[in-house]
Structure 1
Amino acid sequence: MNFDVTKKSAAVFLSAAMLAGCSSAPADSSSDAADSNAGSETNTEQASGNKVSDTVKIGLNFELTGELSDYGIKELNGAKIAIKHFNEREDKPFTVEGVEIDDKGDTQESITAITRLVEQDGVVGVVGPATSGASIATYDFASQKATPVISPSATQVNAMMKADGTPYEYAWRVCFEDSVQGAGMAVYDYETLGAKKVVIFNANSDYGRGLADAFKTKFTELGGEIVDTVEFGAGDKDFSSYVTRIKSLDYDCIYIAGYYNESAQIVNQLKADGVSVPITGADGFDSADFRNQIGKDNANDIFYTTAYTSADPSDELKKFIDDYQAEYGEEPGMFAALSYDATNLLLSSLEATGEDGAALNKEIENANFSGITGSFTFDKDTHTPNKSILIVELVDGEQANTTEQKVD
């Protein structure tokens, strides 16, 4: 079961044309729900583009309470730092006001939130939510109202696509897709960690299954073997039966596709049972709560895909980190950084065009954006960025150095 690994600390770049950040529970009925809450038809005056005023409102729609609030709160904080930086500029063309709302990680609440933001608060664009299900639920309404929505971390496969295979006109994301990070981790496990046999734990959600399927496909394509697959539910806390189930199996690595709460409990129970093979995962690991729950001693030999690392920061990234720490008393993680970029993309596009509606949306579509999570242009067929992803290693709970790797 155990094997030796020559550890290379990881921030691994995987160049890929991204297709779909962090997903939530399935949102199969989100489009229908959005239709029933959409209200009036698209406002043609707004769709043609109105000049913005001296004070511009943007919506900040995030999971501020509930099981996934750590993601949403971090993204709200990142967006607020971006707004703060914009408003501090002496040459700013307008002042930005962020209108905050809690979607509670629920698709229906998210539809209610965007309806209020657009129809009552008069926002010109929306950043968020963090999870895919809550994000997807807003896309139909946003497109009807000609109001761009930029999702920092809606990674679900085909999250930006309608049933007819075309993208929602006013929906965008600044993150990679689960299919890309799942395949990327498979390559890393096989080629860098030397794993030939893997056990998979995945959440019984679109997020968990999408990651697991992409991992399985790529890992077996490379010649690896999936020894067992364990599926768990949201809110599960006792994984002892699963740990017992895999104890006698022969494997080199464990891949966990889930959010931070359940993933942390799985890691703790694996470590407590003496499992010492590398544990790999997805961007759901990228949470301070995950590291706090597993503790410093258990936060070793763990690798996960992410869009952000603070190693060797640029001047822009250093300012973001310093200002975030000063404001919130902790270091920012991936979710805060992605939201910072998503907000800056909206603000820079708004500044460039000076208009809302269709003009603003076209500016986003054609953006050549450079941010703290990478530079990118959009794939216009998928509304997903062409950018790099990273794989990082935890050493005593801290991100380590990096190795470059590509996925074909």
Structure 2
Amino acid sequence: MKQWLCGLVAISLLASVAAGCGGKQESGQDAKEIRIGANFEMTGGVAQYGQSAANGIKLAVKEANAAGGILGKQIALIVADNKSEPAESANAATKLITQDKVVALLGPASSSNVLAALSVASDYKVPLLTPTGTNPRITIENGKLKEFAFRSCFIDPFQGTVMANFAAKELMVKTAAIYYDSSSDYSKSLTQVFEESFAKNGGKVLAKEAFLQKDQDFKSALTKLKASNAEVIYIPAYYEEVSKIVKQARELGITSPLLGTDGWDSPKLTEIAGAAALNNTFFSNHYSSQGQDPRVQKFVADYKQEYGQEPDTFAVLGYDGALMLIDAIKRANSTEPVKIKEALAQTRDLQVLTGVLSLDQNHDPVKSAVVVEMKDGKQTFKAKVNP
């Protein structure tokens, strides 16, 4: 009897260890819910992005659950705050996978935090889909595909090229200056791509200056950039610093066009910089709410009803990312993380808010971009750019 009890205890211990490995839920396919993890910047320096993306995901999950869920089960979205820090992002991914037993991860929002979480997700063989991480190294590095990494947004080389082409062909300028965030993988990658693409268009970068996240005074570097007499200044960075840079640039008498990226997209941009300062600024983005697409209009109305505010691009991309993952789980007909990963890789011609999306061999979307112009504090559609 004692031996039998010991054997039973050993079996129980083995079962508990097995249940703690990877992202498989405790009762697997028999679970009453499908647990999806959301690892986002709910607080910290880029909290606006994380909160917006998470809100978009929550709305998609709410709609999916109201329509019956996935595979006859409801979706349980478990949100973890990475505090806008890479180390915390890795911790959040570990918790979601090992303690909450999620079958897949959505997020984070910023590229640096995605790269930190991805190392954890890859070790546990759980798919990670970032709605907004644009750094190319997220999905492929040194020519090697990261098989558990996916995204629902275009990558830096595409939007860096979009803005370089826009400067050369639409604004018809030959010279540019760059002011970038040297503490951000996102900003450094975009800087490199813009400079290379602008040169291919016959343009020349006359000056480059760098700042750090959370800097407050940018006037010294802006004075140097102004002295270069460049026709445009490219600022590939996030809204928190960009809004202050734009405001201080105009205070210094810089009237030339200021160019940016999707990191500019936040209601706080106008709130901090001021509407007048943002005139004659342009940035690449994933969609424009100015169009007549009924899907977009419905989303905007539903989002405003749910959260009492206009959605930004991060909310839209979060919604798209959730649609991608839900679609993959349906096609996989399974909650096994590896099967979900395989289904994600086969995403083709999926209708999402930002258009029709297919993933290429690098797990990156093939989709269009738009250029947004700021006029009197409002975003206006300027141009659409196809891949």
Contact 1:43/1:146 (<8 A) preserved: no
Corresponding letter in the other structure for 1:360: I
Contact 1:308/1:333 (<8 A) preserved: no
Corresponding letter in the other structure for 1:326: Q
Alignment pair present for 1:213 and 2:192: yes
| 1:102-135 CA distance string (max 9 Å, x none) | 0112222111111111111111111100011111
Counterpart in the other structure of 1:63 = 41
Per the TM alignment, residue 320 of structure 1 is displaced from its structure 2 partner at its CA by 1.3
Per the TM alignment, residue 179 of structure 1 is displaced from its structure 2 partner at its CA by 1.7
Q: Could you say which structure has the greater relative contact order, defined with CA pairs below 8 angstroms and 6 or more residues apart?
A: 1
Alignment pair present for 1:374 and 2:355: yes
Matches of 2:367 and 2:187, distance apart in 1 = 22
Q: Which 4+ runs in 1 deviate beyond 6 A?
A: 39-42
Per the TM alignment, residue 201 of structure 1 is displaced from its structure 2 partner at its CA by 0.7
Q: Which moved more, 1:50-59 or 1:112-121?
A: 50-59
TM (norm. structure 2) is: 0.89
TM (norm. structure 1) is: 0.84
| Alignment counterpart, residue 363 of structure 1, candidates 336, 343, 350 | 343
| Alignment counterpart, residue 178 of structure 1, candidates 138, 156, 163 | 156
| Alignment counterpart, residue 277 of structure 1, candidates 256, 264, 267 | 256
| 1:289-332 CA distance string (max 9 Å, x none) | 22211122222111001112111242222221111111211110
Alignment pair present for 1:98 and 2:77: yes
Call closer, same or farther: CA 1:167–1:50 in 2, change over 3 Å. farther
Per the TM alignment, residue 266 of structure 1 is displaced from its structure 2 partner at its CA by 1.0
| Alignment counterpart, residue 379 of structure 2, candidates 363, 386, 399 | 399
Alignment of 1:9-408 (within 5 A): 46=24, 50-51=28-29, 53-90=31-68, 93-162=72-141, 165-204=143-182, 205-356=184-335, 357-368=337-348, 369-380=350-361, 382-405=362-385
User: Which segments of 5 or more consecutive residues in structure 1 lack a partner in the other structure?
Assistant: 1-38
Count of paired positions: 366
Q: Which moved more, 1:241-250 or 1:274-283?
A: 241-250
Per the TM alignment, residue 52 of structure 1 is displaced from its structure 2 partner at its CA by 5.9
Name the SS for the 1:402 alignment partner. Answer: strand
Q: Which moved more, 1:124-133 or 1:350-359?
A: 350-359
Corresponding letter in the other structure for 2:139: M
Q: Percent identity?
A: 31
Contact 2:371/2:381 (<8 A) preserved: no
Matches of 2:140 and 2:306, distance apart in 1 = 37
Matches of 2:239 and 2:357, distance apart in 1 = 28
Matches of 2:75 and 2:178, distance apart in 1 = 45
Q: Which moved more, 1:153-162 or 1:266-275?
A: 153-162
Contact 1:197/1:226 (<8 A) preserved: yes
Per the TM alignment, residue 235 of structure 1 is displaced from its structure 2 partner at its CA by 1.2
Name the SS for the 2:382 alignment partner. Answer: coil
Counterpart in the other structure of 2:14 = none
Call closer, same or farther: CA 1:240–1:78 in 2, change over 3 Å. same
Name the SS for the 1:229 alignment partner. Answer: strand
Computing the radius of gyration over CA atoms, which structure comes out larger, 1 or 2?
2
Q: CA RMSD in A?
A: 2.3
Corresponding letter in the other structure for 1:188: F
Matches of 2:302 and 2:30, distance apart in 1 = 28
Per the TM alignment, residue 199 of structure 1 is displaced from its structure 2 partner at its CA by 1.4
